[in-house]
Amino acid sequence: MLNLIRKDFIVMRSSLGLIPLYFVIFSIVLISNTMSAYFLVAVYTAFTTLMMSTGADVKNDNHAFLITMPMNRAQMVKSKYATALLYTGVAAIACYIFYTIVRYVKPSLGMPAYSMGQFLASIGISLVLVSIYLPLFYWLSKKGMAIINMAFMIILIGLTPFMNIGTYLMHKQNVGSINNASVALIGLGVVLLFIASYFFAKYLFNRKDL
């Protein structure tokens, strides 16, 4: 499986430079608004990277090539989910670090501290999106994916205003209204969704002609 993950990086090598660029662009767009859900930068960056990776797979007819090598379809799906997790985790951490540095360097902006809630939300929302996206990827053909990618870009763009309204409403009410129990429950739900998504994607991919 490590080989497959490494393959993703070799293949995307030339475009890997774009990712920090995206990160910076997203950050500039979102950080100016202190009420905004800055943590969405992590979601955007992680998901854009994933779309680059699936895009490369489709463009190169990767699956038909990979399956001729000593691996099975389960491994291909597993590695893709693993890289999605990787992107999510790295993006979430990078986001936190970047935000904290900016806050430290420019106290005049009066940015509130990056909360644990935001950090978890960045991971949670990414995982939910991935859980819906990847089974579609393993089910649809080239043409289908083009449509799906557009649909998800629209969803991503719509996330920012959606989150803005959401966090505004939360601040208007009791900020501490979300207690630990609900967070844990939501977290568990997200993890279960991710795992279920993996098995579903495996099932879909197993039956597909490449």
Partner 1 sequence: MNAIEVRNISKSYSQFSVDNISLDIKKGYITGLIGPNGAGKSTLIKMMLGIVRPSAGSIRMLGAEMPSEEIAIKQRVGIVSDDCFYYEHLSLKDMKKVIAPFYTKWNETKFNRYMEQFELSPTKKIKELSKGMKIKFALAIALSHEAELLIMDEPTSGLDPVFRRELLDLLADIMQDERNTILFSTHITTDLDRIADYIAFVNRGKLVFNDVKDDVLDRYAIVKGGQDLLDADIRAKFIGLRESSVGFEGLVDDRKQAQELFGSYAVLETPSLEDIMYYTAKGGPIYA
Instruction: Please report, as ranges, the residues that interact with partner 1 according to CB under 8 A.
Output: 3, 6-7, 10-11, 14, 56, 60-62, 64-65, 67-72, 75, 207-210
Whose Cβ is closer to partner 1: residue 70's or residue 107's?
Answer: 70
Whose Cβ is closer to partner 1: residue 6's or residue 171's?
Answer: 6
Closest CA to 98 of 54, 41, 143, 150: 41
Whose Cβ is closer to partner 1: residue 62's or residue 122's?
Answer: 62
From the CB of 95, what's the least distance to partner 1, in Å? 30
44, 156 Cβ separation under 8 angstroms: yes
Whose Cβ is closer to partner 1: residue 71's or residue 132's?
Answer: 71
From the CB of 182, what's the least distance to partner 1, in Å? 43
Print burial letters for 35-55: b (CB count within 10 Å at least 16), e (below 16).
Answer: ebbbbbbbbbbbbbbbbbbbb
From residue 196, alpha-carbon distances to 107, 131, 132, 189, 191 in Å are: 43, 8, 10, 10, 9
From the CB of 208, what's the least distance to partner 1, in Å? 8
From the CB of 10, what's the least distance to partner 1, in Å? 5
What is the sign, positive or negative, of the torsion defined by CA atoms of 98, 100, 102, 105? negative
